[in-house]
A and B are shown apart, each in its own frame.
Chain A
């Protein structure tokens, strides 16, 4: 997709500007009914509108957006046997792993020695996103652009390898770059350096909601005018012996498959990878004739303040409702929700109850799927990869399925798009993330 678009760009730039202007008009019209008034790229309250102008990814389904969309359309499963050192000592031996990963294909020796795998994934996904956006961060734009990323564990592979060196192998010396490699903000900092982004930049860690929190922050920064462009999303590379062993301890992992919402579900399956987006001030994007992929229109976050692992339906419901309020979106407008849908007994029934309460009768009319069934749970990076499914729904009219679905669960009695992708026109979508620790983050997007 990106290659095709890239090839088309020079020849069609005039036509593209025209097309985008047309889209702006229709989006403005839609927003007028909700807000009373929208002037160009601003809301009546002075807030700016936020365009997504680039997207990139690497995950178990593919090393770019095109191949990931293809896999989601086909309902292909990226989960398989894990392949890394000491995997035989694990009880859980499956995951959504990026297969045959050879960093040398993408990075030179000096870079590899400084980049943990979660940073490598981030930079690769960002290359795709920034290239698609066509942005060059020079002068003023660099000063007003930044990065906010989500990750739960940062450089987990670096921790793991070096703990092995000092504990298991008994060595007393580690490589000098261990700290700059493993720190949670490493990927964020390398992105800022790679593109010369001099504005607000930081990393958020809220377990499974990290990416959604990051993208929500990026949205608010562009919306408020604090930044013109934000690179955002998240990354996770926890598939190593220590990473999986830690999760095993909690006894919420499936040994065979991730089957969200199915009565036969028996736990979550870890994944790895990254998703990176370009969030851009609407007026800035329109002025340069950018292809706008979707509009970010709302965000909400909250805390359950109840339990360190058990989710609360009230917390989830409150966050969903507030995201729609923030977006000036009526519940009936929402056609698709990308669920948190981890495939654990607790999450899926709690999430379905929250959706049922938040949407009332409309809950039976909307579609809700969990793409974790295909790419696994990318923990801190998961919301970013899942936002891709939301953009695919809005742009291509294809709803990614919940695969592995075997048997209805009365406690998850919603249209979960079982096993096969569906064609459907949707104008507004939500993406849910409900993290361990009871931290919730929901994002709302609209079709352009």
Chain B
């Protein structure tokens, strides 16, 4: 799963135009500097990268099954989706 984690960090870092080393799991999407449109684009990139479908609705992100409260929670949620697919 480290590989999945690294690939997610790579996607998020690219979106925020940061070095992956600057990202910490406890950081929120806002702290990383990604706006709502950037978040939707990141989720699209994650879906493409892992060939999964992320249950995320931009209208009510807090109600989604997909926890986006921090980078760490996103990584955990994606890892879960990837393992379910396998």
Q: How far is the CA of A176 from the CA of B39 in the complex (A)?
A: 10
Closest chain B residue, CB of each to CB of A110: B17
The reply on A44 being an interface residue by CB < 8 A is no
Contact with A along B33-44 (1 / 0, CB 8 A): 000010011011
B60 contacts partner chain A, Cβ-Cβ < 8 Å: no
Complex-state Cα separation, A363 to B28, whole angstroms: 70
Q: Which residue of A lies closest to B39 (CB)?
A: A176
- Which residues on the A side are within 8 Å of B44 (C-beta)? 173, 175-176
Separation in Å of the B44 CB from the closest CB of chain A? 5
Q: Name the residue of chain A whose CB is nearest to the CB of B51.
A: A173
Q: Which A residue sits closest to B17, measured CB to CB?
A: A110
A-chain residues with CB within 8 Å of residue B48 when the two chains form the complex: 173
* Contact across chains for A176 and B41 when beta carbons are under 8 A apart: yes
Query: B47 in the interface, Cβ–Cβ < 8 Å?
Result: yes
Contacting pair B47 A177 (CB below 8 A): no
- With both beta carbons as reference points, the residue of chain B lying nearest to A173 in the complex is identified as B47
Chain A's nearest CB lies how many Å from the CB of B38?
A: 9
List chain B residues, Cβ under 8 A from A40.
none
Count of chain A to chain B residue pairs whose CB atoms are closer than 8 Å in the complex: 14
Q: Mark B2-45, 1 if CB is under 8 A from A, else 0.
A: 00000000000000000000000000000000000100110110
Q: Across the interface, do A113 and B47 meet the contact criterion of CB distance under 8 Å?
A: no
Nearest CB of chain B from residue A115's CB, rounded to whole Å: 14
The chain B residue sitting closest to A176, CB to CB, is: B40
Q: Mark A175-187, 1 if CB is under 8 A from B, else 0.
A: 1110000000000
Residues of B within 8 A of A173 (CB): 44, 47-48, 53
Taken residue by residue from 398 to 414, chain A's Cβ proximity to chain B (1 for < 8 Å, 0 otherwise) reads as: 00000000000000000
Residues of B within 8 A of A175 (CB): 41, 44
Instruction: Give the size range of A's interface with the partner.
Output: under 10
Closest to B48 in A: A173
Counting chain A CB atoms within 10 Å of each CB, the highest count among B41, B47, B48 belongs to: B41
Q: Taking CB as reference atom, which chain A residue is nearest B43? A: A176
The distance from the CB of A109 to the nearest CB of chain B, in whole angstroms, is 9
Shortest A183–chain B CB gap in Å is 14
CA A382 to CA B48, docked complex, whole Å? 39
CA distance A176 to B53 in the complex (A): 14
Report A196 CB to chain B, min CB distance, Å. Answer: 19
Which of A175, A176, A177 is packed against the most chain B CB atoms within 10 Å?
A: A176
Q: Which residues from chain A contact B47 at a C-beta distance below 8 Å? A: 173
Smallest distance from the beta carbon of B59 to chain A beta carbons, Å?
14
Chain A nearest CB: distance from B68 CB in Å? 15
CA distance A113 to B44 in the complex (A): 13
CB distance from A387 to the nearest CB of B (A): 35
Q: Which residues of B contact A113 (CB under 8 A)?
A: 41
Interface residues of B in 40-68 (CB under 8 A from A): 40-41, 43-44, 47-48, 53
- Over the window 69-97 of chain A, the binary record of Cβ atoms lying under 8 Å from chain B Cβ atoms (1 yes, 0 no) is 00000000000000000000000000000
Residue on B nearest A113 in the bound complex, by CB: B41
Q: Tell me the complex Cα distance, A177–B43, Å.
A: 12
Query: In the bound complex, how far is the Cα of B40 from the Cα of A175, in angstroms?
Result: 9
Chain B residue nearest to A108 (CB atoms) is B17
In the complex, A176→B41 CA distance in Å?
6
Task: A177 to B39: give the CA distance in the assembly, Å.
Answer: 12
Q: Give B6 Cβ to nearest chain A Cβ, in Å.
A: 21
Q: In the complex, what residue of chain B is closest to A180 when comparing beta carbons?
A: B37
Please report the C-alpha to C-alpha distance between residue A177 and residue B35 in the assembled complex, in whole angstroms: 14
A280 to chain B, nearest CB (A): 33
Distance between Cα atoms of A6 and B41 in the complex (Å) = 39
Expressed in whole angstroms, the Cα–Cα distance for A113 and B40 within the complex equals 13
The residue of chain A having its C-beta at the shortest distance from the C-beta of B38 within the complex is: A110
Instruction: Write the chain A residue with the least CB distance to B53.
Output: A173
Give Cα A64–Cα B27 distance, bound, in whole angstroms. Answer: 46
Cα distance A113–B15 in the bound complex, in angstroms: 11
Closest 5 CB pairs of A and B: A176-B40, A176-B44, A176-B41, A175-B44, A173-B47
| 11 further interface pairs, Cβ-Cβ under 8 Å (given A113-B41, A175-B44, A176-B41) | A173-B44, A173-B47, A173-B48, A173-B53, A175-B41, A176-B37, A176-B40, A176-B43, A176-B44, A177-B37, A177-B41
- Cross-chain pairs A/B with CB under 8 angstroms, 14 sampled: A113-B41, A173-B44, A173-B47, A173-B48, A173-B53, A175-B41, A175-B44, A176-B37, A176-B40, A176-B41, A176-B43, A176-B44, A177-B37, A177-B41
